[in-house]
Chain A
Amino acid sequence: MIEIGKVTLLFSVILSFYAIVVSYLGYRQRLGFFLESSRRAMLSSFALLTIAISMLSYALITKNYDIKYVAENVSNNLPTFYAFSALWAGQSGSLLLWAWLLNLFIVIVILQNRDRHLELMPYVIATLSGILLFFVVLLSFFSNPFERLGFTVLEGQGLNPLLQNPGMMFHPPTLYLGYVGFSVPFAFAIAALLTRKLDSEWIVSTRRWTIFSWLMLTIGIVLGAKWAYVELGWGGYWGWDPVENASFMPWLTGTAFLHSIMIQERKGMLKIWNVSLIIITFLLTILGTFITRSGIIASVHSFGASKLGYVFIVFLVTSALFSLYLILTRKDGLRSENKLDSFLSRESSFLFNNWILVGAAFAIFWGTLFPVISEAVRGVKITVGPPFFNTITIPIGLLLILITGVCPLISWRKATWNNFVRNFLYPGGVFLFLLIGLYLAGIRGLYALMSFSLIGFVLTSIVMEFYRGVKARMRYDGNALIALKNLIWKFRRRYGGYIVHVGVMLAFVGITGSSAFAVEKDQILKKDEVMTIKNYQLKFLGVDQFRTANAEVISASFEVFRNGERLGILNPSKHYHPLQDQTMTEVAIRSDWKEDLYLILGGVQQDGSVFLKAHINPLVSWIWWGTYILIIGALIAMWPGKQVRAASRAQKTAQPDQAVLNPIETESR
């Protein structure tokens, strides 16, 4: 099995290299045979990588300790569920997953575009094969998951207890789906640059890939936040760790890209900017992987320092320089086809939205890398942690909320001030009402006041958009609900986008509430003593001790009352994992729409008393519900419509003409 695994990776290296060469030759020599051959090479590589990943998964589930990776990441008593998830718990396993997903996406792109975008496809395949080549070279020569252990062991080192959480089953794969997904629009952008086909074709053809990647990245980030909230046991969900930042940066630039491509589609403007944004987004996904695997920046997520960092930096720099060269040599073709009709227009507001999103990405990038800069300049190691990022990002976040509300109030092309003021009236009124009302209700924190009021402003502007649309449609549809359904369904991209905005705003409500109004208290409690925090009473009932398959558990029981009404029992606990000699804190959470009661067992003393930490985290569940709404909105926005299917059919029926234009396909037939 070990040898087969190694051979499949080696063959994948050969096939990826071959695909680059033949797709390049196919384009240059206009020989369809080469293009077809590159497609088949990628299909074969996918089959090989599927064998490799299946074999590693099987080895993990069956605890085959002959393989070093298996011995390092699972143990005899680890449940199958977690044994499988160990595939992405370690360095080489997660790289294999990355490569397999990338190859899967290449196959999908090939199948999607057998009869479409024939001019771009050779270079799309070449670019994607180039990225795949990098990963399979890493797997074959630097971090091979099939490396033999070299001696016999009866027990593995086991999975890091922090990773033994159902959220970890989904968090890394969704994050990887997002990271890897951005390779596709990147490859199309590079292909557009190489072929000098710099119209909007590459953007239109990858719009759904971009939304899909953005959505997966979003889900991955939120799952990570949820995991941190439940598993790390400090009462929060975002710690501004370098690796968290590394996932957030491409999310920000990807969000900017999703908005700015609309201007290129409509007006043929911002071509350089869009190409640059998707290149930056792709490079940031690689940077995130580099940070995790290089050990250059200390992070709770890192796999430890390794020589992989150097290989990543070479790949990063090469990709950046090559992309820059392409942009500089094609800048004439990237000139805007039009000018703005007016300063006061939706186009301008989108550019300001881009300014803030990319500004936020830069601020986080700067903070993440500043320790390295400081060490280089002063020779002093420093830390840039949560206080820095909170200070920097909160004002930027407020600006972002503001611009999210302003965008729908301004028309495309040209808005008049009268029109703008009229649209502004209700959202502005709600903003002022909330600002004064919340102040009178006792909220004094400037950021919280501004945040809630601006969220009200944004939600009102979105509701107004729906109201206007429904009102207009009711002339045809009659019933308001049918009109709403038709409005969303017929203009999925626009109204799906608005639903995404609603989700983001609800998440902002949760972030603001839990950041500004969290309450915490700790106390040592003897049996039957009661701790009071806000309007909660926590009665300590006693301690239980028991063993699970992996751990020795001490669990404390608390009867929870709110305003005297009994809510139930909560059991925060400590889990000692002997194999890793690690003690984990398992929190107990009681959540409703208003707030979370979050209990942490600090410790148990000899006399049976416990040290309890309690947090009241207001509105946290709004973050998760906001994400569900965001997912629905994104799915609506990316759902293919009749027009897309018709366009796809039209392209296929237009194939004979295209074949004349493009000898590649003629040859391949």
Chain B
Amino acid sequence: MTQSKILLILLIFAGGLWGNVTVGQVEKELMCTCGCTMALYTCECGTSEKMRADIQGMIDRGMDKDAIVTYYVDKYGEKIRSAPTKSGFNLVAWVTPFLALLVVGIALYRLLKRWSSHREERPEPLFTPEVQSQYVKQLDKELQEFEEGENL
């Protein structure tokens, strides 16, 4: 008795989920088939209108998003999807940009660390620290002025 109640609730819930699928959600997953090469949700041609009506019909018949997309993939091939699947070889498409960014980022971090830790052999200072600090202050001031005069 309890089991059948749970089953009933699950079915109603599942039905509710199916009912929540909208044309808008499905059309984001598909390309228009008219040859315009646009994603369905960005196309306003007659073919796209018909596709939307067909999708609405499938939703009304109780099909969920995956089932509708699978129907179109079976009919038109993988190119009907607006983005590659996240499995198999297609995974390369998704992973590569982030992987490249990560690898180059680490390399850049290490390079900058190496560049900034570079210290050349310096000769003994010619001036006392007090005199030197005056020159350092003056140098800093002039560098600051140089940085500000950058309109060239």
List residues of A whose CB falls within 8 A of some B CB.
204, 232-234, 236, 239, 241, 266, 298-300, 339-343, 345, 348, 351-352, 355-356, 359, 362-363, 366-367, 370-371, 374, 377-378, 380-388, 391-392, 396, 412-413, 490-494, 520, 583, 585, 600, 602-603, 641, 643-644, 647
0/1 string, B83-104, CB within 8 A of A gives 1: 1100001100110111011001
Known: A381-B78, A388-B83. 19 other contacts (CB 8 A): A233-B44, A239-B42, A300-B36, A300-B37, A340-B115, A352-B108, A359-B104, A362-B97, A363-B97, A370-B84, A374-B84, A381-B77, A382-B84, A383-B82, A384-B83, A392-B98, A413-B143, A491-B148, A493-B150
Residues in B with CB closer than 8 Å to A378 are 89
Q: In the complex the two chains form, what is the Cα distance from A366 to B101 in whole Å? A: 12
CB–CB B151/A383 < 8 A: no
Contact of B39 with A by CB under 8 A: yes
Q: Is B116 an interface residue (CB 8 A)?
A: yes
Return A433 CB to nearest CB of chain B, in Å.
29
Q: Which of B1-9, B24-32, B60-68, B124-132 lies at the interface with chain A?
A: B24-32
Chain B CB within 10 A, most for which of A339, A371, A492, A600: A339
Name the residue in B37, B82, B94, B147 with the highest tally of chain A Cβ atoms < 10 Å from its Cβ. B37
Set of chain B residues within 8 Å of A359, measured between Cβ atoms: 97, 100-101, 104-105
A-B contact pairs, 11 of them (CB 8 A): A234-B44, A355-B108, A363-B97, A366-B96, A378-B89, A382-B78, A385-B83, A387-B29, A392-B97, A641-B151, A647-B152
Query: Contact at A339–B116, with CB atoms within 8 Å?
Result: yes
Are A241 and B37 in contact, CB atoms less than 8 angstroms apart? yes
Cβ of B113 and Cβ of A343 under 8 Å apart?
yes
Name the prevailing secondary structure of the B interface residues. helix
State how many angstroms separate the Cβ of B76 from the closest Cβ of chain A: 10
Taking a contact as CB atoms under 8 Å apart, the answer to whether A491 and B151 are in contact is yes
Given A300-B37, A387-B82, A641-B151, are A348 and B116 also a contact pair (CB < 8 Å)? yes
Q: Of all chain A residues, which has the CB nearest B24?
A: A520
User: How many angstroms between the C-alpha atoms of A446 and B100 in the bound complex?
Assistant: 24
B46 touches A (CB below 8 Å): yes
**Alpha-carbon distance between A356 and B100 when the two chains are bound, in angstroms:** 11
Q: Report if A351-B116 is in contact (Cβ < 8 Å); known contacts: A239-B39, A387-B29.
A: no
Complex Cα spacing A542 to B46, Å: 23
B141 within 8 A of A: no
Chain A min CB distance to B73 (Å): 11
| Central interface residue in A299, A340, A378, A413, by most chain B CB within 10 Å | A340
Contact present for B151 and A340 (CB under 8 Å) = no
List residues of chain B with CB under 8 Å of any chain A CB: 24, 28-29, 31, 36-39, 41-46, 49, 77-84, 89-90, 93-94, 96-98, 100-101, 104-105, 108, 112-113, 115-118, 143, 147-152
Chain A residues within 8 Å of B37, by CB: 241, 298-300
Are A583 and B46 interface neighbours, CB within 8 A?
Answer: yes
B residues near A386, Cβ cutoff 8 Å: 28, 39, 42, 82-83
Instruction: Tell me which residues across on chain B come within 8 A of A602, comparing CB atoms.
Output: 49
Of the residues A300, A520, A603, A644, contact of B151 by C-beta under 8 Å: A644
A659, chain B: closest CB distance, angstroms: 24
Which among B82, B104, B151 is the interface contact of A490 at CB below 8 angstroms? B151
How many Å lie between the Cα of A412 and that of B145 in the bound state?
12
Q: Is the CB of A355 within 8 A of B104?
A: yes
A273 to B: closest C-beta gap in Å: 11
Task: Please give the distance in Å from A76's CB to the nearest CB on chain B.
Answer: 26
Contact, CB under 8 Å: B151 / A341 = no
Chain B residues within 8 Å of A600, by CB: 44
Nearest CB in chain A to that of B115: its residue: A340
**Shortest CB–CB separation between residue B71 and chain A, in angstroms?**
17
Q: Which of B42, B116, B148 has the most CB of A within 10 A?
A: B42
Contact: A300 with B97, CB < 8 Å?
A: no
Question: A260 CB to closest chain B CB, in angstroms?
Answer: 12
State whether B113 touches A377 (Cβ < 8 A).
Answer: no
Cα distance A466–B113 in the bound complex, in angstroms: 31
User: Which residues in A have their C-beta under 8 angstroms from that of B39?
Assistant: 239, 385-386
Contact (A232, B44) CB under 8 Å given A339-B115, A351-B108, A644-B151: yes
Q: Is the CB of A381 within 8 A of B152?
A: no
Could you tell me the distance between the alpha carbons of A412 and B98 in the complex, rounded to whole angstroms?
29
- Determine if B83 and A383 form an interchain contact, defined as CB atoms under 8 angstroms apart: yes
Chain A residues within an 8 Å CB radius of B105: 355, 359
Least Cβ–Cβ distance between A454 and chain B, in angstroms:
18
Note all chain B residues with C-beta closer than 8 A to A383.
Answer: 31, 79-84
A492 touches B49 (CB 8 A): no
Q: Which of chain A's residues have a CB closer than 8 A to the CB of B93?
A: 366-367, 370, 374, 384, 388
Assess whether B36 is in contact with A385, with CB atoms less than 8 Å apart: no
Q: A359-B101, A382-B84, A388-B83 are contacts. A340–B116 as well, Cβ < 8 Å? A: yes
Once bound together, how far apart are the Cα atoms of A412 and B146, in whole Å? Answer: 11
Q: Nearest CB to that of B41 among chain A residues?
A: A234
A239 near B38: Cβ-Cβ < 8 Å: yes
Task: Give the contacting residue for B42; candidates A232, A340, A355; CB below 8 A.
Answer: A232
Contact of A382 with B100 in the complex, beta carbons under 8 Å = no
List chain B residues, Cβ under 8 A from A396: 97, 101
- Residue numbers in A under 8 Å from B116 (CB-CB): 339-343, 345, 348
Chain A, Cβ-Cβ closest to B118: A339
List residues of chain A with CB within 8 A of the CB of B43. Answer: 234
Chain A residues positioned under 8 Å from B90 (CB to CB): 374, 382
- Let me know if A603 and B49 touch, CB within 8 A: yes
Distance between A277 CB and nearest chain B CB, rounded to angstroms: 14
> Is the beta-carbon distance between A363 and B38 smaller than 8 angstroms?
no
Interface centre among A352, A383, A396 (most CB of B within 10 A): A383
Nearest CB in chain B: distance from A512 CB, A: 19
- Distance between A253 CB and nearest chain B CB, rounded to angstroms: 14
> A186–B150 Cα gap in the complex (Å)?
23
Which residues of B have CB within 8 Å of A266? Answer: 147
CB distance from A524 to the nearest CB of B (A): 12
Report A-chain residues with C-beta under 8 Å of the C-beta of B28.
Answer: 386-387
**Chain A, residue nearest B88 (CB):** A378
Across the interface, do A374 and B89 meet the contact criterion of CB distance under 8 Å? yes
By a CB distance below 8 angstroms, the chain A residues around B24 are 520
Distance between Cα atoms of A60 and B93 in the complex (Å): 44
Q: Is the CB of A493 within 8 A of B83?
A: no
Give Cα distance in the complex from A352 to B89, angstroms: 30
B83 to chain A, nearest CB (A): 4
Is there contact, CB below 8 Å, between A204 and B97?
no
| Chain A residue at minimum C-beta to C-beta distance from B102 | A359
Report A-chain residues with C-beta under 8 Å of the C-beta of B84.
370, 374, 382-384, 388
Query: Is there contact, CB below 8 Å, between A387 and B83?
Result: yes
Known interface pairs A359-B104, A380-B78, A641-B151; A348-B112 also in contact (CB < 8 Å): yes
Q: How far is A641 from B152 in the complex, measured between Cα atoms in Å?
A: 7
Interface centre among B45, B46, B80, B151 (most CB of A within 10 A): B151
Q: How far is the CA of A351 from the CA of B111 in the complex (A)?
A: 11
Q: Which residues of A contact B83 (CB under 8 A)?
A: 383-388, 391
| Chain A minimum-CB-distance residue to B140 | A413
Q: What is the minimal beta-carbon distance from B34 to any residue of chain A, in angstroms?
A: 11
Q: Could you tell me the distance between the alpha carbons of A351 and B109 in the complex, rounded to whole angstroms?
A: 10
Q: Would you give the shortest CB distance from A603 to chain B, in whole angstroms?
A: 7
Q: Which of chain B's residues have a CB closer than 8 A to the CB of A370?
A: 84, 93
Question: With A and B bound together, what is the CA distance between A351 and B93 in angstroms?
Answer: 26
- Smallest distance from the beta carbon of B61 to chain A beta carbons, Å? 20
Question: Cβ of B45: which chain A residues have Cβ within 8 Å of it?
Answer: 583
Given known contacts A366-B96, A382-B78, is B112 in contact with A340 (CB within 8 Å)?
A: yes
